Structure 1
Amino acid sequence: MLDDVVVSSNAGRVKWISRKCAELFAYLLFYLGKRIPRSRLVMDIFGGMHQTNAENYLNTTVYQLRKSLEPLGMREVVRSENDGYALELKDPVIDYVEFEKQVEEIQSIDVSNVERALHIERLYTGDLFGDKAYVWAINEMVRYAEVYTSFVKQLAEVLISLRDTSTASKLLLKLNERNPLDESVIQHLMTIREMTGDKKGLTALYTDYVRLLSRELGIRPSEGLIHQYDMLVSRLTNKK
């Protein structure tokens, strides 16, 4: 479910008949094993449509979902139950569940578990449901993205303390690509530029960020960032 809605087993990969049947699967998976009333599915997935049309569309989508799952022998995992539907899967491996579970298990990152933390970071292959932006999942999509961002920042800090600036920089640049306005990421990247003696790169990074803030938000960087930049440039100048 990270970066896309993909279902596979030893028998192959599901080919969705329609986008809505993929969305319905994602919804039912989110509430795995729980009965979801038809009325709620109509409201959350087909909201905005005329009631009768929405109910008919739900019927069609349930049928399409079962047909999509049939080649993998999974047709029966979508259960009809008391005017609702439930998804029953035996021991599924769900990527976003596994990612959050491992993040919680590691608790804090240090030199003893940094390799494991790097492995966990690689589990997050993209945001929940990718570019689908399902309205009913917005809060959870944001939450998982925040869990990932926080985890990577912690990991980068440990890598910087270990002077593994190359790996830290790669991770931070991934965060910067996701959110170019995140000042704390810029702070870490500036620190790395100073550690590696890259005065030109430090100045370019800071200048680009200042321009971005001015262009997009019409604001200046924080006093803290301005002070950090001046201090790092001074250090590099004094080294010479």
Structure 2
Amino acid sequence: MKNRVMKAIIVDDEPHAIKVMSSLLEHYKNIKIVASYAKPEAALAEIARVKPDVIFLDIEMGYIDGLTMADLFNQQHFVDIIFVTAYAHYAVQAFDVKAIDYLLKPVQKKRLDQAIERLVTTRQARINGKDEVEPEGQHLHIVSFDHLEVRNQDGKRMLWRTKKARELFYYLWLTDDRKANKSVIIEKIFPEKDEAKALALLHTTVYQLRRGLADLGFSESIIFSQNKYRLATSLMSDLERVETLLLKGLADDKELDEIARLYKRDFLGDEAYDWALSTQHQLRNRAFTVVSGYMEQRLREGHFTFSDESLALLMYLNSLSEQGAGLIIEILSRQNRRSELVHFFNGFKTLLAKELKTTPSKELLSMYDEAMLQ
């Protein structure tokens, strides 16, 4: 990799700046300038054909900025970006989109040396001796219950530059690509922003995601086509397993305990994404129906040795349900756990009074009294 010649293009609306950068880059044996463009739209039209490894991209280019162009380039061909600017205040934005580096005009050779070294190091770490494509048989692993996490098969975690980058990833993962229209994404992810600002933020956020996924070895994972974004990589998730268990039903206590381990907290945790609330509620309701139904069936068969984790899951899924409370009363009673039974029922009564301003039904009180007499 270190000896590989990297194809570079220069995009700058000032011909003199192109000439200066070309002259500087000629001294690097591992950089080959294959094209230069004074018009960014011309570079965009040819990037799929030229397929550069790196773009030296001006930020200030009149009617369109380099930050936006960076995303447009990567919609067609994943490429490393080194920004070039006459304005220092763009530095933070450049790193927000995970550029390899940014260089201030006039470019100094020492800084260019550092940028090229950073480029080589980054590409070496990313590729690690493999082709720049998704390795065969590799998957992204997504955690969506308890906490949010994305990692590759080696356990390397996705680093989220912003909360919006994480939200956009989960939105693309959950949304049918037919619904992932750019305008719909803006409406869902950036509802508080005006159209121009939201579009710029979307481009920046997509760029961040592409960089983060490339760092995990998935460099072509977000595809833009027909004005829609979609994730284009193999995925494995805890949601997939939870939905499989809920769809087929629980076969035994081992599967009940498995879903209890997975479903420690709500789907997507504490992230109250408006677009995900209906999915979150549906999953919770389905899980409660399946778990409570399994426990009722097993109790009728004379089985009551459920784990504490499964009892906690039942009440977590619907802490105000008398159906769930009745099951726990019966189970704790059969397990001869009187003190835990008293503690649970007192807590349930307190919760009903606080949340619903009510008390347990006569039927539930009778069940509890009967259990305490046994």
Match of 2:305 among 165, 172, 180: 165
Determine whether 1:143 maps to 2:143.
no
Letter in 1 for 2:202: L
Query: Where in structure 1 are there 5+ consecutive unaligned residues?
Result: none
Question: Aligned match of 2:362 in 211, 220, 223?
Answer: 223
Secondary structure of the equivalent of 1:148? helix
How far is 1:199 from its partner?
Answer: 4.0
Identify the structure with the greater helix proportion. Answer: 1
Whether the aligned pair in 1 keeps the contact of 2:177 and 2:228 (CA below 8 Å) is no
RMSD value over aligned CA atoms?
2.5
The answer on 1:66 being equivalent to 2:210 is: yes
| One-letter identity of the residue aligned with 2:365 | I
Does the alignment pair 1:38 with 2:182?
yes
1:183-205 residue CA offsets vs partner (Å, 9 max, x unmatched): 22221221123223344443443
1:123/1:98 CA distance change after superposition, 3 Å: same
Distance in 2 of aligned mates of 1:207 and 1:36? 48
1:131 correspondence with 2:270: yes
Shift of 1:155: 3.4
For 2:68, the equivalent position in structure 1 comes to none
**For the residues of structure 2 that align with 1:186 and 1:35, how far apart are their CA atoms?**
40
Q: Please name the residue that 1:196 is paired with.
A: 335
Query: Corresponding residue for 2:26?
Result: none
Alpha carbons 2:288, 2:317 under 8 Å: kept: no
Seen in structure 2, the aligned counterparts of structure 1 residues 176 and 117 have a Cα distance that, compared at 3 Å, is: closer
Shift of the alpha carbon at 1:42?
Answer: 0.6
**Which residue identity is paired with 1:80?**
F
How far off is 1:56 after superposition? 1.1
Q: Structure 1: how far apart are the matches of 2:152 and 2:177?
A: 19
Corresponding residue number in structure 1 for 2:257: 118
Structure 2 distance, partners of 1:154, 1:65, is 41
Aligned equivalent of 1:80, options 224, 231, 234: 224
The one-letter amino acid paired with 1:53 is K
1:94 to 2:233 alignment: no
User: Could you tell me how far 1:114 is from its partner in structure 2?
Assistant: 3.8
Aligned residues: 229
**Cα pair 2:288 2:318 within 8 Å, conserved:** no
* Greater mean deviation of Cα atoms: 115-124 or 45-54: 115-124
Task: Tell me what 1:9 maps to.
Answer: 152
| Structure 1 SS opposite 2:223 | strand
Larger radius of gyration: 2
For 1:99-158, what per-residue CA distance to the aligned partner results, in whole angstroms no more than 9, with x for missing partners? 21232123xx46xx4434433443435322111121111100111122222222233335
1:50-70 deviation line (CA, Å, top 9, x unaligned): 221111111111111111111
Pair 1:120–1:206, CA change in 2 (3 A)? closer
Moved over 6 A (4+): none
Partner of 2:102: none
TM-score, with length taken from structure 1 = 0.83
CA distance in structure 1 between the partners assigned to 2:355 and 2:261 by the alignment = 31
Check if 1:233 corresponds to 2:336.
no
1:162 deviation in Å? 4.3
Q: Which one scores higher on RCO, CA 8 angstroms, separation ≥ 6?
A: 1
Q: Taking every aligned residue pair, what percent have the same amino acid on both sides? A: 26
**Does the Cα contact within 8 Å between 1:213 and 1:220 map onto a contact in 2?**
yes
Secondary structure of the 2:270 match is helix
CA distance in 2 between counterparts of 1:52 and 1:84 reads: 18
- The superposition leaves residues 79-108 of structure 1 with CA deviations (integer Å, 9 ceiling, x where unpaired) of 111222111113x212212321232123xx
- Aligned counterpart, 1:50: 194
With normalisation by structure 2, the TM-score equals: 0.55
